[in-house]
Amino acid sequence: MTKKQAAWIAFFAITIAAILTCLSHYNLLALPQPVLLTVRWLATASLVWFAIRKKSLTTWILVSMVVGAGIGHDFPQVGMNLRVLSQIFLRMIKTIIAPLIFATLVVGIAGHSDIKQVGRMGWKSLLYFEVVTTIALFIGVAAINISKAGMGIQMPAEVHEAVQTPPPQSWQDIILHIFPENIAKSIYHGDVLPVVVFSVIFGIALGMVKEKVRRPMLGFCESLSETMFKFTNIVMYFAPVGVGAAIAYTVGHGGLSVLGNLFQLLLTLYVALIVFVLVVLLPVALIIKLPIRRFIKEISEPVSIAFATTSSESALPKAMEAMGRMGVPRKIVAFVMPTGYSFNLDGSTLYLSLASIFVAQAAGIHMSFGQQLLMVFTLMLTSKGVAGVPRATLVIILGTVASFHLPSWPVFLILGIDELMDMARTSVNVIGNCLATAVVGKWEGETDFSKPAADSISAEVAETMISHN
């Protein structure tokens, strides 16, 4: 039997089980509970069988969510006892936060800090990146406050006891908290913002020293960054167990109603991303007189790759090649694209603000407008260390919620549907970076959209540039 046939069998089985369960729940069909239980677990077994055939981590995460929901619904006490597995996964993820943020920010700043070399192109790119990503953050905040997707989730009693709304702080306290008193202390307590400030200043200082002194430390940070991403990949192999256990625990305590909140969150993200593209990116394209239809045709391949792989990095070589065909000179593409890879992930930054406030809503913690602004300011900095690889945003979300004394258990709910959200936000990342390249090229007065650039970048050359960035 082929994988496609296995997928269809699993789909029909779980659909029939869901329909029968709903009909029984609303008393539209009288079926004995043992029969319903058998039907549900036979359908779940077909999903597990499909996951075994598929051999995909993403598939296993999604299937584990179904298995966890089933355990929590049918065997709530067992689901409650599985919490320790989700806590193990959470602890492993938390160990990644500080070294990953430090390494990515230092490399991003010190690797592009020679202002004499980058000239006008440098400040124009960074200005555009900051404006657009900040707008994306605010759209995410507005979207989640309108939809209130996290409201109504029943929080476990023991979490109520452990998590309380932080006491109000004066503006002096807030400012003092931003600057690290002891970097080791900030890492220990999970305070992301002081780590970010230290990393930014360290990156600037590293960029100011001589090349022979800078290169060893920059090489160390590049190695540390790559190692921590591999570390993340290893930990993610435990993700199906952690996610399944977290869903089982939550459903066992609060019922299946939590799944409705997740669908609402997914819908909120997609609507917010569409609004961002239409309200922000489209007007920018019209201002620089970008031929929209041709642009869509050229970037369709890299965007499709990003959507399928949920990785901005995998789509960048084709994106750089496409922008060369759009008429953007090689030197501009070679600078803006890799820089945007670190500083201009529009979809990811929008998602970060949306997901962070969703966590607060799920925990029943009210955040004032001022607290939400401070969270946006934090994300403006921490999002600059987000790499274009799957699940990198998970690290940033966990760090941010810890800084604002929010619980981490709602993050597992998000992780259950993260793959579906990652497809959309990664596609927007690629679209935003392609448009940013066109903007800077037009701003520099060196781009003619009517013909390809004479020194267009091939996909092979683009891959080489990215690997050395």
pLDDT at site 285: 93
| DSSP codes joined into one string, 94-134 | HHHHHHHHHHHHHHHHHTT--HHHHHHHHHHHHHHHHHHHH
Which amino acid belongs to residue 429?
A: N
State residue 3's pLDDT score: 63
pLDDT, position 408: 76
Check whether residue 184 and residue 287 sit in a common domain: yes
Q: Are residue 78 and residue 96 in the same domain, yes or no? A: no
Same domain, 263 and 358: yes
Same domain, 29 and 162: no
**72, 133: one domain:** no
pLDDT of the residue at 164 = 44
Question: How far apart are the C-alpha atoms of 462 and 330, rounded to whole Å?
Answer: 10
Q: Are 103 and 44 in a shared domain?
A: no
Q: What is the CATH number of the domain that holds 296?
A: 1.10.3860.10
Per-residue confidence (pLDDT) for residue 161, from 0 to 100: 42
Query: pLDDT by residue (tens digit) across 260-300?
Result: 788 888 899 999 999 999 999 999 999 999 999 999 988 88
**Tokens 């399928």 label which residue?**
308
Mean pLDDT confidence for 61-73: 81
Domain end position, chosen among 35, 54, 82: 82
For the segment 429-449, the average pLDDT, to the nearest whole number, is: 87
What are the respective helix, strand and coil percentages of the chain, to the nearest 5?
80, 0, 20
Are residue 340 and residue 355 in the same domain, yes or no? yes
Mean pLDDT over residues 75-100, rounded? Answer: 80
Is pLDDT of 165 > 50?
no
In a shared domain, residues 147 and 20: no
Q: What is the mean pLDDT of the chain?
A: 76
Mean pLDDT, residues 3-22: 65
Distance spanning both ends of the chain, measured CA to CA = 44
Assess whether pLDDT exceeds 50 at residue 309: yes
Residue 24 is predicted with a pLDDT of: 62
Note the pLDDT of residue 192: 66
> 0.85 exceeded by the pTM?
no
Same structural domain for residues 58 and 186? no
Residue pLDDT, tens place only, 223-247: 987 888 788 778 878 878 887 887 7
What is the C-alpha R_g of the chain?
23
The pLDDT of residue 59 is above 80: no
Tens digits of residue pLDDT in 38-56? 777 778 788 787 777 777 7
248 pLDDT higher than 70: yes
Specify the pLDDT at position 6: 60
> In the prediction, which pLDDT does 1 show?
58
Distance of CA 289 to the CA centre of its chain: 31
Among 279, 253, 272, 236, which residue's Cα sits nearest to residue 424?
Answer: 272
Structural domain span for residue 73: 3-82
| Between residues 376 and 291, the one the model is more confident about | 291
Query: Which tens digits make up the pLDDT trace of 106-163?
Result: 876 776 555 554 556 777 888 898 899 889 999 999 999 999 888 877 665 555 444 4
Which residues, 6 or more positions from 249, have their beta carbon under 8 angstroms from its beta carbon? 72, 79, 80, 82, 83, 86, 156, 409
Q: Are residues 246 and 341 in the same domain?
A: yes
391: pLDDT strictly greater than 50: yes
Sign of CA dihedral 438, 443, 444, 448: positive
Count of structural domains, the chain: 2
Residues 329 and 386 placed together within one structural domain of the fold: yes
Last residue of a domain, one of 38, 62, 82: 82
117 and 35 in one domain? no
Distance CA 246, CA 249 (A): 5
Domain boundary among 61, 82, 103: 82
Outline where 209-345 has alpha helix (H): 211-236, 239-254, 258-276, 282-287, 292-309, 312-325, 330-343
User: Rounded to the nearest 5 degrees, what angle is found at the Cα of 426, between the Cα atoms of 432 and 299?
Assistant: 55
